Amino acid sequence: MSDRLPPLTALRAFDAAARHMSFAKAAAELSVTPAALSFQIKSLEEHLGRPLFRRLNRAVELTEEGRALAPGAQEGFEVLTAAWRAARRLQDNTTLTVTAGPALTAKWLAPRLYDFARAHPEIDLRISTSLRLVDLARDGVDVAIRFGQGLDAGLYSISARKEWMIPVMTPELASRYPTPESLREAPLIFDESISFLDPPIDWPTWFRAVGMDFAPKRGAHFSNADHAIDAAVAGVGVVLGRRPMIIKDVIEGRLVMPFKTAVETDARFRFVCLAGSETQPKIAAFRDWFLAEIAKTAHISDGLTIVHVKDIPPT
């Protein structure tokens, strides 16, 4: 038997028909007539020497040979499509697609994008807010801003500054709860978006960092960090805020940090792109802007005692 591959058009017709399990739907996807699609599949079957489909009255089903071919055909076309998109992106120096989490986009990225757009009017910036881990080679995304403790094997990755958390509240609440001890009576807000961190950083952790054995559970719980911060700005309570999420509200006075102990984690926000693509002008421009923006607010750490979570005694 020969390993010579059949024509690509015939394999493409088979892939579409196998995914839809319908010649009519496959033909519509490929913008050909059902007769033309059927001809391509028949030529593929002749090349193989065995049928790939069983033709039923109102449907089709894959034969054993068809079931063996379908997964590889689908994966092959997905890889080809991704490679083609990657090659095209190398020619596109004007469109930059960035993905970031919803909370970081709302509280840090979006308020600053005007400066990037003004500095780089030649770049058409597109922001995709998602926590889904994208495949940079396949999903048409140039840059990902991601948070976590993992590694970015095989990718170009730059970690941002230390990630720490500290209690923040409105100035009015700060006047009512001036000491860590007074927070026992304060309305607390729980940001559950970082529950995956190991070791965890939560209210009991922060209280241990300041020498208190207190494990509060009651209060407003939020699954999104930006919602938790917005609740604190509205005066709902005191939140253990993450550095990038609180910077703008702290600098502009809506929130204050009355206590000087912050808890650091190994997790970092990271600028990630395909290895080698960091030299593309549009990606390099966004990277340099991203790092410069972070540096502008480095002073927010001045005067803080930042304790690493691993140095805090366990319960």
135/64 Cα distance (integer angstroms): 31
130/147 Cα distance (integer angstroms): 12
Per-residue pLDDT of the chain (315 residues; tens, 9 = 90+): 567 888 999 999 999 999 999 999 999 999 999 999 999 999 999 999 999 999 988 889 999 999 999 999 999 988 888 777 777 766 667 889 999 999 999 999 999 999 999 999 999 999 999 888 888 877 889 999 999 887 788 899 999 888 999 999 999 999 999 999 999 999 999 999 988 888 889 999 999 999 999 999 899 999 999 999 999 999 999 999 999 999 999 999 999 999 999 999 989 999 999 999 999 999 999 999 999 999 999 999 999 999 999 999 887
Which among 54, 59, 15, 57 is positioned nearest to 37, based on CA atoms?
15
Burial (CB count within 10 angstroms: exposed 0-12, middle 13-18, buried 19+), residue 27: buried
19/25 Cα distance (integer angstroms): 10
Sheet holding 163-168, edge to edge: 220-222, 188-191, 238-242, 163-168, 261-265, 305-308
60-62/53-55 β-pairing: antiparallel
305-308/163-168 β-pairing: unpaired
28/19 Cα distance (integer angstroms): 13
Task: Tell me the whole-structure pTM to 2 decimals.
Answer: 0.71
95-100/143-148 β-pairing: parallel
49/47 Cα distance (integer angstroms): 6
